Structure 1
Amino acid sequence: MIAQNESATAPHGKPEVLVLVGPTAVGKTNLSLEIAERYGCEIISGDSMQVYRRMDIGTAKASSEERSRIPHHMIDIHEPHEPFTVAEFQERARELIADIHSRGKLPFIVGGTGLYIESLIYGFQFSEAGSDEAFRERMSLYADEHGDLALHDKLKRQDPLSAERIHPNDRRRTIRALEVLHLTGTRLSEQLASQKKRSPYESCIIGLTMDRTLLYNRIERRIDQMMEEGLVQEVRRLLHEGVERTAVAMQGLGYKEMAGCLAGEMTLEEAVNYLKRNTRRYAKRQLSWFRHMQEIHWVELEEGSNISEHLKIINDIITGKFPFRREYNAKRRNDAAANPTQTI
């Protein structure tokens, strides 16, 4: 039996890490809470947008009630005007994994930003490509004159795989991918493909997927709910605080579209339609990224199915990979039987 303060490591000494990935709106949050309670986890957000403070509705953060159930990390750690990089995510998440293990808990990475999660789990080494400020300025001016889509088309011609993974609205990452090729002569996608992927962790990676039509319907319902919860007002407040529309955080889904609406560049109806379209495209890119990752155990979710059916499949995957966690889960069930008010 695992003591509460005992660090959980695999027999060969690697720290164990549980991972849950999937496209936006597939249902990661609800399942992650149930899984975390069953296996003594603390959740590390693997979402590049949830790091930003006061950007809650558009990033679909776990609610304060949900975060009170399970400790969450890597949420609300940056101001919206501050850029956040994959290298910083990797460094901070490694520290969190060590800390969570030191308290006898199981680190649980949950999110949809493929590069962030893959860089952490597979221990990516980032090249020292350096920077060329003059090149960045030229590309930024090009985007100002011709639009972000034209800049993204430039990347698509030179590095189509990177273009597939980078959102057309994400000017910073588009420019960085172009800059890496400019400085090194090697495409960013080729550098990522050449990573040896020697993980410092023993990972159990679960991927959630869903029929495309069902997923798109869920995306549309989520966006309608975001609008009802006040997405426009959230974006307006950020702009009034002085957050520039060109800030990295404001390039996120929902923020760019609503900012355009507030600037009079489109109607609210048009902004919502663009957001739904862009989110569907993003979900498609997420699935494409995750399907290239190694050793993912895929779970097909069905609309209307009881969550317990999905949890049974997921439990079998986790205990098959981390056998001692079966004992932890059994202990929680026995404790709950002895104390019916306890949640398992």
Structure 2
Amino acid sequence: MLSSPDPNKPNLLVLVGPTAVGKTALSISLAKQWNAEIISGDSMQVYRGMDIGTAKISPQEMQGVPHHLIDIHSPDEPYSAAEFQSGAEQLIADITARGKLPFIVGGTGLYIESVCYGYQFTDVQQDETYRAEMNDLADAFGTERLHELLLEADPNAAGRIHPNDRKRLIRALEVIRQTGKPLSKQDEKKNKESPYNLCLLCLTMDRAQLYARIETRIDQMVQLGLLEEVRNLLQSGYSSELPSMQGLGYKEIAAYLEGNVTLPDAVALLKRNTRRFAKRQLSWFRHMGDMHWIDVTPPSSEEERLDQINTIIRQTLGG
């Protein structure tokens, strides 16, 4: 039995899904229909000058729909899940006060889930000495060694962090070192109930077709000037070692521009890494509760999908 929306809670519409599944176009249709403003739930689209590699929506594609948390940082300015959470929560309050529907769209699971369920992030300061030690360890024995250490100390966190994700592995180990508590204890601080009337939608697609779309998108990015975009960033003084430059599309092309790999190898690596990323995105969304799954595998029609989604929104949020 469906529960009625709580009149004391703001409504929040959320659309997630793996990269290249078709979130952007659908989000514009839904935003227009439901008088919504979109909050980007993408950890990379916050960076100015990083447009092609992040598949950032253009002003023309926005079709007049207000978008937030896009182009708010330079590539050398750090951005975190906690900062996203704070900004998104303020935006949700502001959008609601204007009589419109806040609508988070994106694919960064931790960021989006932190807002949906009110994570309380551990306030742990960076320990640069410890981080340098862990980076040296990874340089000597591979990032997999960091994953092994985390697996021993916090199996739950290790299961949710990719063995090659050096930054998050070191952060998880750093939290344990400073607090004596596993990072996965964050889940115990997650509210059992969302602070919002929450409507969670996740787009999914036949895996072979999704992977084909990913490869086509990457070919299009290269044609649109991905190499020039990365070259301009490097020439502007943004190091390839910056967290922002470790994003998909940037680290692979930077490796080519710096003479470490051939262009065909860089593009092939980008395609492989993006396929793996999409798989991890789906794994994350599967563990989130209350998710409505929308299969957008062709030849399903956009009209049918919109009818299905609009019914879910009405049943969940009212209206």
Name the TM-score class by shorter chain. Answer: over 0.9
What CA distance in whole angstroms lies between the structure 1 residues aligned with 2:61 and 2:101? 18
Structure 2 CA distance for partners of 1:175 and 1:224, relative to 1, 3 Å: same
Task: After TM superposition, list the pairs within 5 Å mapping 1:123-134 onto structure 2.
Answer: 123-134=118-129
AA matched with 2:209: L
Counterpart amino acid of 1:106? L
Instruction: Report the CA distance shift for 1:157/1:269 in structure 2 as closer, same or farther (over 3 A).
Output: farther
Equivalent position of 1:205 in the other structure = 200
Contact 2:53 2:250 in 1 (8 A): yes
Identity of aligned residues (%): 57
Which residue in 1 is equivalent to 2:268?
Answer: 273
Question: What are the ranges of 5 or more consecutive residues in structure 1 without an aligned counterpart?
Answer: 1-8, 325-344
What are the within-5 Å matches in structure 2 for residues 206-245 of structure 1? 206-245=201-240
Residue 52 of structure 2 corresponds to residue 57 of structure 1: yes
8 Å CA contact retained: 2:119, 2:189? no
Per-residue Cα deviation, 1:72-120 (whole angstroms, up to 9, x for no partner): 1000000000110111000011111111111111000000000000000
Separation in structure 2 between the aligned mates of residue 163 and residue 237 of structure 1, nearest angstrom: 36
* SS of corresponding position for 2:287: coil
Residue 319 of structure 1 is matched in structure 2 by 314
Q: Distance in 1 between matches of 2:151 and 2:226?
A: 31
Q: Answer whether contact 1:123 1:199 (CA < 8 A) is retained.
A: yes
Task: Find the counterpart in structure 1 of residue 135 from structure 2.
Answer: 140
Aligned residue type for 1:238? L
Q: Give the drift of 1:229.
A: 0.8
User: Which residue of the partner structure matches residue 248 of structure 1?
Assistant: 243
Could you tell me the TM-score, scaled by structure 2's length? 0.92
* 1:284 correspondence with 2:283: no
Contact 2:19 2:278 in 1 (8 A): yes
Alignment of 1:320-335 (within 5 A): 320-324=315-319
Letter in 2 for 1:237: N
- Conserved? CA contact 1:100–1:106, under 8 Å: yes
Amino acid in the other structure paired with 1:288:
S
Shift of 1:250: 0.6
Q: Is the 8 A contact 1:170 1:248 kept in 2?
A: no
Q: SS of 2:7's equivalent?
A: coil
Give ranges in structure 2 of 5+ residues lacking alignment. Answer: none
Correspondences of 1:33-44 after superposition (within 5 Å): 33-44=28-39
Checking the alignment, whether the CA contact within 8 Å between 1:23 and 1:283 is kept in structure 2 is yes
Superposition deviation, residue 146 in structure 1: 4.9
